[in-house]
Amino acid sequence: MKGRSIIEEARRASRTLLTEIESKGLLKEAGIPAVETLFAGSREESVRISKKLGFPVALKIVSPEITHKSDVGGVRLGLKTSKQVGAAYDEMMSVVRQKYPEAKIDGVSVQKMARPGTEIIIGMTKDAQFGPVLMFGLGGILVELLKDISFRIVPLEREDAREMIREIKGYKLLEGYRGREPVNIATLEEILLKVSQFVDNNPEIKEIDLNPIFAYEDGAVAVDARVILEKE
């Protein structure tokens, strides 16, 4: 589904929160690398897709009403067999329905587990005075723990992207601190520029959260993605 179609479909359904699959579809069209993620509407389909993608896989609940999937038991990682996938599907559906009995649950997303890398977050929120503002920092739980992040106003120039990355306190981690795999800084700069352009071209987008992005020496890939639209 093309980016414009994804947004229009959400509008027709009076939704502002895009699913992970829709969000990654928008990213793909903008040239931002993301883990291939497919939708499964049943237990059997989740098993079939898992076999197609190759184990291990991750399953995540798909609901237009649930923003933080992990908080409600809607995420299962590192599933290595068809039996584990089927059991995870049943368990997630049961747990989420108990916690959110009124929520509309479409199914699950299935994605192949990405190779672990340095976790990065890139996000966008709208400031009442300055408009769209991009954020960059160390991702995963580190963003909550350390709050080691930088900000710039959209649109970004290449120098802005360069500075955003280098001014965080954890920049040494990106260089390969104490034997860690260094990350490809040029790739992160390019992703920031593409997110900036994407936001500039789509003023109806209110918020973006790419967390985590796994960054490697030879590239980077968004593992999870959330896009929220402005209310009409």
Beta strands in 3-148 (DSSP E): 37-40, 57-62, 75-79, 107-112, 118-127, 131-138
- Which residue in the block uniquely carries the two structure tokens 């954020």? 135
For helices 185-201 and 158-166, angle between their N-to-C axes, nearest 10 degrees = 130
Residues 4-30: pLDDT tens digits? 899 999 999 999 999 999 999 999 999
Residues 149-203: pLDDT tens digits? 999 999 999 999 999 999 998 899 899 988 889 999 999 999 999 999 999 999 9
**In the predicted structure, residue 2 carries a pLDDT above the cut 80:** no
Torsion angle of C-alpha atoms 35, 228, 95, 107, degrees rounded to 10: -60
94-98, 99-103, 183-187, 205-209: segment of lowest average pLDDT:
99-103
Q: pTM of this prediction?
A: 0.91
pLDDT number for residue 154: 96
Instruction: Give 196's contacts (C-beta < 8 A, 6+ positions apart).
Output: 134, 154, 155, 156, 161
Q: Which domains does the chain have, with CATH numbers?
A: 3-112 (3.30.1490.20), 118-229 (3.30.470.20)
pLDDT number for residue 57: 98
For helices 20-29 and 3-12, angle between their N-to-C axes, nearest 10 degrees = 150
Residues 48-90: pLDDT tens digits? 999 999 999 999 999 988 878 888 889 999 999 999 999 999 9
pLDDT number for residue 32: 95
**In the predicted structure, residue 42 carries a pLDDT above the cut 80:** yes
Overall average pLDDT of the 20-47 stretch? 95
pLDDT number for residue 72: 84
- Which residue in the block uniquely carries the two structure tokens 């896989």? 57
CA gap 160, 128 in Å, rounded: 21
pLDDT number for residue 142: 63
The DSSP letter of residue 61 is E
pLDDT number for residue 45: 98
